């Protein structure tokens, strides 16, 4: 089993969340009580030398850190201050328990598939979203896979998602939930104007190409809802599985496997109360 290195721990906090610095300092003190040094760092300033990263905030903070640290194979552990925190592994009241679990090697490190686009300028753990630059109008977007035309969408946009991202924007847009242990790609149109435009699940090795050309002068492409680039609509956008993988630290604790989290945090399959 791959093990964590506590040599250079960075505790990354979201400076836009008022209590995040306080929680980061609490986490730092908890580590120091156990003889482990660490440093607190705002999410706008990452440390390339980190051997292990703990994020304080919501899933957005963890996703931002994942895109930065994945190329360096640095493991990430999330402490949740957000509403859902689907990727985070501990809440505020579980910090001491989580640190003890990490020290006692009661965890596993999962490699999560990522997507890349625009010659590596875009890297995403959850999803890549493409929309026209005129948000008040739908756009016509053309989809090809492995050089073969698949369809054209009249829609607000297209989501290209990893299994990790299948429980995020993709799910809200009507896409399927996929276990993160699988390697596949989900393609979901956003508010399509055709009833036959359904989500597609394809093998991870497929090469996706999307272009505009109609009803928009530019396309906007974003990674995990954060990084955004403007692309000429006449240019094709190539999206494919990245050679880079994110490393997420998963605690070994009761009801912490994917399906239990799905039920607990998304109320999956829970019958309505009478």
Residue 69 is predicted with a pLDDT of 97
Q: What angle do CA 130, 167, 88 make, to 5 degrees?
A: 110
Q: How far apart are CA 159 and CA 197, in angstroms?
A: 13
Residue 270 is predicted with a pLDDT of 65
Question: Which pLDDT band, with edges at 50, 70 and 90, does 218 fall under?
Answer: confident
DSSP string computed for 168-227: THHHHTTPPP--TTS-EEEEEEES-SSTT---EEEETT--EEEEEEES-SEEEEEETTTE
Average of per-residue pLDDT across 259-270: 73
**Of 57, 93, 94, 99, which Cα lies nearest the Cα of 78?**
57
Which residues are CB-neighbours of 138 under 8 A, at least 6 positions away? 132, 154, 155, 156, 191, 193, 215
Cβ atoms of 42 and 15 closer than 8 Å: yes
pLDDT over 90 percentage in the chain: 66
**Of 68, 118, 114, which Cα lies nearest the Cα of 220?**
118
52-57 and 9-13 beta bridge pairing:
parallel
Cβ atoms of 143 and 153 closer than 8 Å: yes
Residue 17 is predicted with a pLDDT of 84
pLDDT over 70 percentage in the chain: 93
Query: Which two structure tokens, joined as six digits, stand for 107?
Result: 């965890």
Q: How far apart are CA 42 and CA 47, in angstroms?
A: 10
Domains for the chain: give ranges and CATH numbers.
Answer: 9-105 (3.40.50.10330), 115-243 (2.60.200.30)
Q: Pick the catalytic residue: 16, 47, 59, 230? A: 59
- Residue 262's SS3 state is helix
214 DSSP β-pair partners? 140
pLDDT, one tens digit per residue, over 78-136 is 999 877 678 989 999 999 999 999 999 999 999 999 999 988 899 999 999 998 876 66
pLDDT, one tens digit per residue, over 47-88 is 999 999 999 998 999 999 999 999 999 999 999 987 767 898
pLDDT, one tens digit per residue, over 201-210 is 999 999 999 9
Residue 165 is predicted with a pLDDT of 95
Cβ atoms of 188 and 174 closer than 8 Å: yes
152 is catalytic: no
| Cα 97 to Cα 74, 93, 266, distances in angstroms | 22, 8, 24
Question: Which pLDDT band, with edges at 50, 70 and 90, does 253 fall under?
Answer: confident
Q: How far apart are CA 24 and CA 30, in angstroms?
A: 10
Is the whole-model pTM more than 0.75?
yes
């Amino acid at each position: 089993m791959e093990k964590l290195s506590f040599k250079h721990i960075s505790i990354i906090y979201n400076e836009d969340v008022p209590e995040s610095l306080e929680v980061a300092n609490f986490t730092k003190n908890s580590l120091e009580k156990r003889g482990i040094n660490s440093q607190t760092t705002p999410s706008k300033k990452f440390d390339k030398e980190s051997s292990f990263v703990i994020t304080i905030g919501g899933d957005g903070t963890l996703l931002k850190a994942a895109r930065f640290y994945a190329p360096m194979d640095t493991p990430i552990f999330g402490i949740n201050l957000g509403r859902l925190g689907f990727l985070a592994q501990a809440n505020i009241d579980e910090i001491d328990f989580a640190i003890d679990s990490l020290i006692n090697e009661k965890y596993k490190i999962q490699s999560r598939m990522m997507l890349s686009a625009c010659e590596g300028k875009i890297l995403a753990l959850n999803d890549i979203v493409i929309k026209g630059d005129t948000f008040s109008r739908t756009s016509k977007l053309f989809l090809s896979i492995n050089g073969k035309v698949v369809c054209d969408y009249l829609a607000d946009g297209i989501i290209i998602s990893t299994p990790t991202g299948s429980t995020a924007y993709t799910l809200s847009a009507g896409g399927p939930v996929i276990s993160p242990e699988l390697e596949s790609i989900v393609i979901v149109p956003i508010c399509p104007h055709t009833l036959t435009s359904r989500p597609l699940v394809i093998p991870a090795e497929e090469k996706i190409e999307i272009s505009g050309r109609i009803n928009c002068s530019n396309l906007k492409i974003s990674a995990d809802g954060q990084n955004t680039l403007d692309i000429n609509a006449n240019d094709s956008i190539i999206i494919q599985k990245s050679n880079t993988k994110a490393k997420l630290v998963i605690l070994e604790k009761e009801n912490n496997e994917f399906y239990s989290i799905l039920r607990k945090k998304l109320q999956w399959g829970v019958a309505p109360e009478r």
